[in-house]
Structure 1
């Protein structure tokens, strides 16, 4: 693959992910991970190496992207600071543990688990009715800590910021409005991504066969290219997010991650569909 084509694919992915990050409060790892995984496979890296680099680098990109998006949501009053901090801080340790698990798990297991988890969450959101938002978070501190621990673990294992996992819980279990859930999740993913990145760096140090310019399982070339597109586009996503009805956001979010989930599981390959 020509390097220019490689860069263009990553830039297009970054534009898409940055927009989604601001729009939906997600880190975008559920898009960046698969794209990088497929690109690295095409370049000849073996699957286990490719998926760890893809997940680790995705988490690294999520940090500046989420910072950009969360700042925009905070300005618009769509962030619940206290719950975000409780969930975020409790997620750091388990995100690190999740990265350790990934470093010792076969690629096919990770890709299948990734697909199953996000499809389940999408179906859950589509089948659930949004509660009326009273302006107060229902969950107590213990519930928020447990939510952070679960979010962090899955984030570290699957190379995603955790917004994909967290938003349905915030809406269905905690009682957030959709826009509040998106804004709050955008803050939490900063913490979960940090825990995961540390783990992917430590577990990838001195591993043979890494791409050039890698720190552990974080590839700096991919990181810079993706971040250059995701950070500015996140602000555009934030602005559009606050103009769309909650119901439309739910369907956009759910349809996208169902597609990505099916793709990672390999359903389209089994059916010989070129999508």
Structure 2
């Protein structure tokens, strides 16, 4: 298979569209969808698995950046983005995401991936018992908590090529006392920062590497990026529209199912 094959192009285009809907609906980046599909396709073109996995991670993060901007603008119109908190988490998250990308570029992520999966599943169980709508409850004002949350979200974002929403939303719901809609909107804003930092990390660490495919910017492949990002950014707006008419409890349950799936995938069970 080559990147110009209709099957290759069609799979990435549909993947981008589906990822966009999930991103807009749940405030996640969708890297857990894009990454494995890209990883498989890139290997089918003849790339070595070690190179294919880094390109899949880096390109996914760069797609997530565009999706996150699109989703955030939608949620901002509904006043569901808390910018002060998002910026604080985002600044720390961006730096941590750059570091996570550097680790992923040189070390195996197998152990950390399994740990991440376990943490996500435990978070899903706790999220399930956390109300989606918080009545008369003030969100956290502890700046240190937001900084720590940003570091956790950012590091795993860069390491595993995800936006960080599968970690960020449970943290916002459980520890920072957000309601579901504001957690989703603010998560999308944080992902702008983390995906930018992670993308930069994959560009820097992949710059000048041998055997990169055509149209590569470090470990980011611009050909794949266009095929994923164009339908993804358009579909993300539709997902955000749907999120505002769904009962927050239903939205939370859908997110919990997604978290369990991601956790099992990261552990390697799926």
Q: Same fold (TM over 0.5)?
A: yes
**For residue 61 of structure 2, what is the aligned residue in structure 1?**
59
SS across alignment from 1:267: coil
Distance change in 2, residues 1:40/1:118 (3 Å): farther
User: Cα 1:205–1:211, aligned 2, differ >3 Å: closer, same or farther?
Assistant: same
Relative distance call for 1:168 and 1:210 in structure 2 (3 A) is: same
Q: How far apart, CA to CA, are the structure 2 residues paired with 1:236 and 1:191?
A: 22
The answer to whether the aligner puts 1:18 opposite 2:20 as a matched pair is: yes
User: Aligned to 2:106, what secondary structure does the other structure show?
Assistant: coil
Residues 14-53 of structure 1, C-alpha deviation per residue, up to 9 Å, x if partnerless?
1111111111111111211122112223333222212211
1:63, 1:49 → 2: CA distance?
22
Give how far 1:122 is off: 2.8
Whether the aligned pair in 1 keeps the contact of 2:133 and 2:180 (CA below 8 Å) is no
Who is 1:272 aligned against? none
Q: How does 1:71-90 map to 2 (within 5 A)?
A: 71-90=73-92
* Structure 2 match to 1:145: 147
Kindly report which structure 2 residues correspond to 1:119-138, keeping only aligned pairs within 5 A, or say none. Answer: 119-130=121-132, 132-134=134-136, 136-138=138-140
Aligned equivalent of 2:245: 243
1:100 maps to 102
Q: Distance in 2 between matches of 1:192 and 1:171?
A: 19
CA distance in 1, matches of 2:35, 2:126: 22
Bigger mean CA deviation after superposition, 217-226 or 207-216: 207-216
- Which of 217, 229, 232 is the equivalent residue of 2:231? 229
Match of 1:161 among 160, 163, 179: 163
Once the two structures are superposed, residues 166-195 of structure 1 have per-residue CA deviations (whole angstroms, 9 ceiling, x without a partner) of 000000111111001000000000000111
CA distance in 1, matches of 2:9, 2:164: 26
Aligned-partner Cα distance in 1 for 2:195–2:216: 17
> Is the CA contact 1:137–1:175 (under 8 Å) kept in the aligned structure 2?
yes
Cα distance in 1 for residues equivalent to 2:144 and 2:113? 31
Corresponding residue for residue 197 of structure 2 = 195
Structure 1 residues 86 and 107, CA, compared in 2 at 3 Å: closer, same or farther?
Answer: closer
Shift of 1:115: 3.9
RMSD, aligned α-carbons: 1.9
The aligned counterpart of 1:271 is none
Q: Does 1:175 align with 2:198?
A: no
Deviation at 1:89, TM superposition (A): 1.1
Deviation at 1:148, TM superposition (A): 0.8
Residue by residue over 1:43-65, the C-alpha shift from the partner in whole angstroms, topping out at 9 and shown as x without a partner, is: 33222212211111111011111
- Measure how far apart 1:111 and its partner are: 5.1
Structure 1: which 5+ residue stretches go unaligned?
269-275
Q: Which moved more, 1:210-219 or 1:175-184?
A: 210-219
- Distance in 1 (CA, whole Å) between partners of 2:217 and 2:116 is 24
* Aligned length in residues: 268
Contact 1:25–1:182 (8 Å) recurs in 2: yes
